[in-house]
Amino acid sequence: MLIGAHVSASGGLVQAIHNAVALDINVIQIFGSSPMQWKANLPDKESAELFKKERRAKGIEKVFLHAPYLINLASEKPSIRHLSRVLLADSLKISNAIGADGVIYHSGSAGTQNIDEALSIAVEAVQRILQEVPVGTLIVENAAGAGALIGDTIDELAYMIKKISSPRFGFCLDTCHALASGMIEDFNEKNIQKLEAEIKKKIGVKKLLAIHLNDSKFPYNSKRDRHENIGKGHIGTEGFKNFFKSKLFRSAPLILEVPGFTGNGPDEKNVKILKSLI
């Protein structure tokens, strides 16, 4: 099983590996730079090599970067689109430098634009980045559906994947976002089978590169992105048990992005609960 969490890299990249060992996980997600700044610097060679060495030594199977939250590839403002494209490209370069498996990002918001127009703009930006940075994988995350966010439906994700048409592009399924956006109404067996079938038909199983495993503080179609600890939200323990009956979902890298029972992010208790449900 590939079980992981978003962990802190505060104190140096290698600290993320130590945090993973403390949680007894083999997948990590980290920020490669500040999530709320437009600047992303490449790590020095020594830090990158130490990170890769420790990763191998500690048996960390998968490493993902989460791109900064500021990125909006579909923005109405050309200046924001440019900054977003540069920042995501720099994030991909950081991912490559530390040997990570990809960069997970949010596509952003259409604002007052037509959704189709915004999707086309976001697709073009990704195509440019993949041309500019010839190595590494970009992974778009499904949105929670608030406002004019793009990428909150299977059809919109499928459109992006089809148009970009690259082996270096895939998607990450966030369970909280899936419930909040209305992608799935309830995590019962029937609905999960339907979601799995839709992904297989419209996107393809090989394009599901990661899962953000989060319960949801708010109910179906709330359009509110508030993560909750596993089993304590509107997905619930039974919902996750049903979710893991799917081989597709059970086999993907699972990344906790929960608030934690002490409010400090993914913790040992959430990891133990997750493992007990699979």
- Judge contact between 103 and 137, C-beta under 8 A: yes
Max distance between CA atoms of the chain, in angstroms, equals 50
Question: Does residue 72 come out as left (phi exceeding 0), alpha (psi in the -120 to 50 range) or beta?
Answer: beta
Q: What is the pLDDT of residues 4-35, one digit of tens each?
A: 999 999 999 999 999 999 999 999 999 999 99
CATH number where 32 lies: 3.20.20.150
pLDDT band for 191, please (50, 70, 90 cuts): very high
Q: Indicate if the pLDDT at residue 174 is higher than 90.
A: yes
Tell me, what's the pLDDT at 147? 87
- Judge contact between 219 and 261, C-beta under 8 A: no
Whether the pTM exceeds 0.95: the reply is: yes
Binding residues: 66, 106, 141, 174, 177, 212, 225, 227, 257
Tell me, what's the pLDDT at 188? 98
Q: Which domain holds residue 116?
A: 3-277
Q: What is the pLDDT of residues 136-162, one digit of tens each?
A: 999 999 999 988 999 999 999 999 999
Q: Indicate if the pLDDT at residue 130 is higher than 90.
A: yes
Average pLDDT in the chain: 98
How many domains, the chain?
A: 1
Binding residues for Zn(2+): 66, 106, 141, 174, 177, 212, 225, 227, 257
Q: What is the pLDDT of residues 103-124, one digit of tens each?
A: 999 989 999 999 999 999 999 9
- Judge contact between 172 and 212, C-beta under 8 A: yes
- Judge contact between 45 and 33, C-beta under 8 A: no
Q: Which tokens in the block code for residue 57?
A: 């030594």
Single out the residue of 253, 249, 156 nearest to residue 210, CA to CA.
253
Tell me, what's the pLDDT at 120? 98
Q: What is the pLDDT of residues 192-221, one digit of tens each?
A: 999 999 999 999 999 999 999 999 999 999
Tell me, what's the pLDDT at 2? 98
Q: Please tell me the distance from the alpha carbon of residue 238 to that of residue 220, in angstroms, as a whole number.
A: 16
The owner of tokens 């990249």 is 13
Q: What is the pLDDT of residues 236-266, one digit of tens each?
A: 999 999 999 999 999 999 999 999 999 999 9
- Judge contact between 4 and 256, C-beta under 8 A: yes
